[in-house]
Amino acid sequence: MYGMFFAILAASFATIFAGIGSAKGVGSAAQTSMGVLSEDSSKFGKMLVLTLLPGTQGLYGFIVGFLILINCGVLGGNPPTTGQGIAFLAASVAIGLGGMFSGFAQGKAAVSGITMTAKDEKNFSKAMVSITLVEIYALLAFIVSLLVVISVPKLPV
């Protein structure tokens, strides 16, 4: 019973906090993009790409949350033990916090990249590279969470 509580809490934690990071990052980038587009709507495609980049953290959190729900028996199967539920919760911390903070940082980088691209469209690829560098840390958090989540059902706890 407690295992299921911790597992559902874990799925929520991963999804909510990574989603907060993405929402903040995409929101900041979208505000800047709209300012650029109000001056020159021909830059829509490039602005859209730069605006969407901070949204991946929320997707990573959703995937981890979904896999936790699959592995804990909510969507069929056996409910987790208390130890397994706590292990799911521990796994969700990596992508929850990693996704939130990298989403904030990637949003700031996206705002700068959008501003740079607005001044000179030749800077688009430079902006993409710089914004994507932040993504590495979201991916690392996602991989750690993913590896733990797929290992939890095999844990003898």
Distance, CA of 18 to CA of 104 (rounded, Å): 10
Averaged pLDDT for residues 120-132: 95
Which band of pLDDT confidence, cut at 50, 70 and 90, is reported for residue 134? very high
Helix (H) and strand (E) counts in the chain: 5, 0
Q: What is the pLDDT of residue 82?
A: 94
Which band of pLDDT confidence, cut at 50, 70 and 90, is reported for residue 156? confident
For residue 128, the Cα-to-chain-centroid distance in whole angstroms is 17
Q: What is the pLDDT of residue 93?
A: 97
Which band of pLDDT confidence, cut at 50, 70 and 90, is reported for residue 77? confident
For residue 2, the Cα-to-chain-centroid distance in whole angstroms is 27
**Which domains does the chain show, CATH number per domain?**
2-151 (1.20.120.610)
Distance, CA of 25 to CA of 33 (rounded, Å): 12
Residue 81 has pLDDT above 80, yes or no: yes
Do the beta carbons of residue 117 and residue 52 sit within 8 Å? no
- Least Cα distance to 104 among 53, 49, 47 occurs for 53
